[in-house]
Amino acid sequence: RVEQEAGLLPGQEEDPECSICHSILHYSAVKCHNNRCEGGKSRLVCLHHVDQLCECGPRHHNLLFRHSCAELDEALQRVKVVAAKSQVAPDWGLFRKPARLKGACSAVDAMEIDPEAHDTHRVEGLVELEGG
């Protein structure tokens, strides 16, 4: 049986925790709905610990969830968009230590090799560095 709202109960200030592993039950939880149950009626567990909730068995357990499948699908799509954007290679040149050309006697020599460089001592590409 599936019910909604695994979230905060009236008067509760924090998300409930699994009574076995104490992980926060932010998305889902399981509880027993059997009136004769002594152990699982007042306890919540995560999906990993359903078998330790009580002796009543799965047909007496309720799955509680905070978000609908549609809401979770929407959140997943947003995560995929962010993940796709993060696949773009960053411009590591912004973080590179400025390099001097071996044998370059002035900033003008370096600029002739890379006129686009904002730092006149930075040269794009493979360069033999002076002194390291």
Report, in angstroms and rounded to the nearest whole number, the Rg of the chain calculated over CA atoms.
30
- pTM recorded for the entire structure: 0.49
Residue 55 to residue 126: CA distance in whole angstroms: 68
Q: Each residue of 49-90: pLDDT tens digit?
A: 998 888 888 888 888 887 788 888 898 899 898 888 877 666
Residue 85 to residue 34: CA distance in whole angstroms: 48
Residue 30 to residue 25: CA distance in whole angstroms: 9
Which residues, 6+ apart, have CB-to-CB distance to 40 below 8 Å? 31, 32, 34, 53, 54, 56, 60, 61
Q: Each residue of 1-38: pLDDT tens digit?
A: 545 555 545 555 677 889 999 998 888 888 888 888 87
The domain limits of the chain are 2-68, 94-123
